Amino acid sequence: MTNLYQKLGIDKTATKAELKSAYRSLAKKYHPDHNKDDKKTAERFKEVSAAYHILGDDEKREKYDRGELDENGNERPPMGAGGFGGRGARPGGFGGGGFRSQTSQTDFSMEDAEDLFSQFFRFNSRGPGSKNQESQNPYANSARPKGLDINYEITIGFEEAITGSTRRLKLNDSRNVDIKIPAGIHTGQVIRLSGQGGPGVSGSPKGDALIEIRVAPHPYYRREGNDIHLELPISLDEAVLGGDIQVPTPSGRLTIRIPRNSSSGKRLRLKGKGVKKKNTEDGNMYVTLKVVLPEDRDPELEKLMKQWPAKGGDTIRKKAGLN
């Protein structure tokens, strides 16, 4: 089985900077914008994003290295765990999803078990013949309790969270269900599937499936509320002369106009191009310009700069109050 380090093509000893560099390179290579209608590449992009979601977090990486988290980011049950949920809380799911029974998250003692059975089957620590049996059972005069809720966790891509999608999840009973991911969902939100959890007792309703969403980080987008931010590299001539250029957005590429004489840090607002959620105002997309010079020396550019007015930098710094 391929571990998370292998999915990113790095060693376990890789530094955080090496980890981030590997992720950015793979995310760029497998990004859906560059691989239209390629399902295998799209799945690879999701795997890379899900791996970085865990290894890019120092605390989660330490837990993963100690074997406390599986490849889907789910907590592993302690070795030798038994009783209720210890064996059943196995990782599963589709595309980064997994499940964990709520009963597997804490140690389950015999006293807890007796209390659980007294609620479900109407007996208590005094035995089936106790005169106070009905009065001590909290469910004696109420509706039967439903089955246990079962927790799952799936990791989705950034664009998927912005535009919405449909994902298939494999439940712990091996059934597949399609889940509608609403546009604008964020990390930590939970989707509830009624009646898809643990079985009820004596005809009581089934529990629910609770799917917690994790949104993988993106190599160049950043989200704040319903707004999306992008740092856009531009060349020196584009900064001086301006012009129309294409920029990526979660819903596709868009042509924007760079104003003449634009400096690094100038921010352009694309109204309504952020997150679109029901019952809320559409977010905006903010593009921050970053002037980038060529990596290699350009003799013509150097010649042009020599003809530039002297002390231009001093004038700019003086205007900014730094001289």
Under a CB-based contact definition with an 8 Å cutoff, are residues 99 and 152 in contact?
A: yes
pLDDT in tens, 98-133: 544 333 333 333 344 444 434 343 333 333 333 444
For position 70, what pLDDT does the model report?
A: 83
Q: Which of 85-89, 266-270, 281-285 has the lowest mean pLDDT?
A: 85-89
- For residues 315 and 253, the model is more confident at 253
pLDDT in tens, 161-199: 999 999 998 888 888 999 999 999 999 999 999 999 888
- For residues 315 and 194, the model is more confident at 194
pLDDT in tens, 41-85: 878 888 888 888 889 888 889 988 988 888 877 777 655 444 333
Q: How confident is the model at residue 279 (pLDDT cuts 50, 70, 90)?
A: confident
Query: 221-295, which class in CATH?
Result: mainly beta
What predicted TM-score, i.e. pTM, was given to this entire model?
0.54
How buried is 175 (Cβ within 10 angstroms: 0-12 exposed, 13-18 middle, 19+ buried)? exposed
- For range 139-148, the mean pLDDT: 58
For the range 53-59, what are the long-range contacts, defined as Cβ-Cβ under 8 Å and sequence gap of 24 or more? 53/155, 53/214, 53/216, 53/217, 54/4, 55/4, 55/5, 55/8, 55/19, 56/16, 56/19, 56/20, 56/23, 56/217, 58/16
Q: How confident is the model at residue 304 (pLDDT cuts 50, 70, 90)?
A: confident
The domain segmentation of the chain, as residue ranges, is 221-295
For position 155, what pLDDT does the model report?
A: 92
For position 77, what pLDDT does the model report?
A: 63
For position 189, what pLDDT does the model report?
A: 94
